[in-house]
Chain A
């Protein structure tokens, strides 16, 4: 009897490949995963089959070119469950900083033959264009979160991803708070958990790469940053960074 294994695929859009690497870094678990699922498209791993029907589609990268736009519709139509991985796919990524600028001007300033570059004026998250079933944040995404999502879906249960603040994870890890001891403006209180409080565990501040937490009080945190001696511009840059298009961060960053 042949067992039909669920098919999964990983698609790349406008991105740096870091999230695919996080996936690959699962190492042994990735090998074990192939007992339970068929990986049918994952270019970075060598499997190429871009037009197949799949059970779970993972999307890395944002929509930043006309070609991206075309592909995502096709992929959505052929996928049962679609998961965005990382800041680019989920919120537009660092490249969405172009949304605040004149993209044509930038392209002209950088490329010797700007007319050969095909691009959209903005970089937008996948959810702007198609229905997304689950969002996994982070720059890069946490491989363990991907694995848990797959394992849970195999049991036909929708994965529960916590959207609490990084602070809770920071305290569970036994870190000492950099805000309180070093007066460093940390984004942890308004950022979603999932990374294991990576940055504070090496004594530095969180810069918000997992996007906004579920109930972020950006006004109060901005005021606190100001009291810690940050200029308005510094505070804006804290919010308008890797997840600059995430609505809560965008709003806080645009505040005068």
Chain B
């Protein structure tokens, strides 16, 4: 759906808050299961959405390195918060999933069977720009020929994306410096920007246009369009964090030229090697695979689950753990994400969502680590 990008509708529409349910009903009738933001365990997470009442009305998130709090701001808005612990990742790249089964007959011959997952297509309601950008990067990992991941593909091809442009950034957002937000540029069916009483809507695909027509949205007024622009500008200007060198290949060269920098020891003393950062990161795609035999010794199931470069299994080769300390693991995370990702996918692996900063139990800040490694370089240029 949102994978086909050649589409041109430059119109602005208005979706009043009271019509959110009409939109959800339409999608349900089309056979989608809607997934949207709601409160769970003191945070905003994405789960099955049936009614606009479930949305996190009047709530704002306060984020610091290693900290996340929700507070009421008494504004009748559904999206006056920035983001929560999850991105789209768990919807398309499942945390755990069965891949295939194998059975042995009485002659010892093995027969392999694919596991296919029967599922409804998913409509994602309220996806942030950074997370859409993250999805487009994961597409490169999972959908590049000849190594297409059928499981990801089956979900991805049918997904309907309702993006939402931000009007507020948390302390840990830095999508301006990574050029991935706060306004979504590609990869969506429709995009919303919340203003008073509703959303200004733009269209990104034919399926999105069909939805607009079906629920008969009126055009947005000039004032509404100006209000939309003010919201997006507000989110952009309030960002205080930034990835050094605008997240370009300069960061790649910086890291690859400083593999012996003392900062790696410094961060290794703080890092718990817990893997929370890679788990919440919308672009990380590593998994481990396990074989679970049945008791009958005839059948076995092969499944995968999210893994991380912070585990010993990630670098276990030929009876040896290659990266057996935290220093080499943190270095792997940072140099893959921000450096060798360029060689692999022609992009940085960071979309500036700030999740790895917020959800790190000890508040390690990826932008600060890069800045520390960049320090001598910056000092040099200053003294020239």
Chain B interface residues (CB < 8 Å from chain A): 40-43, 45, 66-69, 85-86, 90, 95-96, 269-276, 279-280, 290, 292-297, 305-308, 310-313, 324-326, 329, 358-359, 361-362
Residue of B nearest to A166 (CB): B274
What are 23 A-B contacts with C-beta separation under 8 Å?
Answer: A32-B295, A152-B293, A154-B295, A162-B311, A163-B312, A164-B313, A167-B276, A168-B274, A168-B311, A171-B276, A172-B96, A174-B95, A176-B40, A177-B68, A180-B66, A181-B43, A189-B272, A213-B273, A215-B326, A216-B272, A220-B271, A223-B362, A224-B361
A55 CA to B356 CA in the complex, in Å? 47
Q: Specify which chain B residues have a CB less than 8 angstroms from the CB of A183 in the assembled complex.
A: 67
A174 touches B45 (CB 8 A): yes
A164 CA to B278 CA in the complex, in Å? 13
Q: Specify which chain A residues have a CB less than 8 angstroms from the CB of B96 in the assembled complex.
A: 172
Q: Is A114 an interface residue (CB 8 A)?
A: no
The one of B270, B271, B293, B361 that contacts A179, using a Cβ cutoff of 8 Å: B361
A148 CA to B295 CA in the complex, in Å? 9
Q: Is A71 an interface residue (CB 8 A)?
A: no
What 5 pairs across the A-B complex have the smallest Cβ distances? A171-B279, A172-B95, A176-B41, A189-B274, A189-B272
A33 touches B326 (CB 8 A): no
Known: A151-B297, A172-B305, A214-B312. 12 other contacts (CB 8 A): A151-B294, A164-B311, A165-B310, A168-B307, A171-B275, A174-B86, A174-B90, A181-B42, A215-B329, A217-B271, A220-B269, A220-B270
Q: Specify which chain B residues have a CB less than 8 angstroms from the CB of A181 in the assembled complex.
A: 41-43, 68-69
Q: Is A49 an interface residue (CB 8 A)?
A: no
The CB with the most chain A CB atoms within 10 A, among B85, B90, B275, B293, is that of B275
A182 touches B312 (CB 8 A): no
A33 touches B45 (CB 8 A): no
Residue of A nearest to B279 (CB): A171
The CB with the most chain A CB atoms within 10 A, among B271, B313, B358, B362, is that of B362
Q: A172-B95, A220-B271 are in contact. Are A167 and B361 (CB under 8 A)?
A: yes
Interface residues on A, range: 35 or more
Residue of B nearest to A33 (CB): B295
A180 touches B358 (CB 8 A): yes
A35 CA to B294 CA in the complex, in Å? 12
Contacts of A209-238 to chain B: CB distance below 8 A: 213-217, 219-221, 223-224
A167 CA to B69 CA in the complex, in Å? 19
Q: Is A128 an interface residue (CB 8 A)?
A: no
Output the least CB separation between B293 and chain A (Å): 5
Output the least CB separation between A124 and chain B (Å): 27
Output the least CB separation between B61 and chain A (Å): 10
Q: Specify which chain B residues have a CB less than 8 angstroms from the CB of A179 in the assembled complex.
A: 66, 361
Q: Specify which chain A residues have a CB less than 8 angstroms from the CB of B95 in the assembled complex.
A: 171-174
A164 touches B359 (CB 8 A): no
Contacts of A133-153 to chain B: CB distance below 8 A: 147-148, 151-152
A217 CA to B42 CA in the complex, in Å? 27
Q: Is A188 an interface residue (CB 8 A)?
A: yes
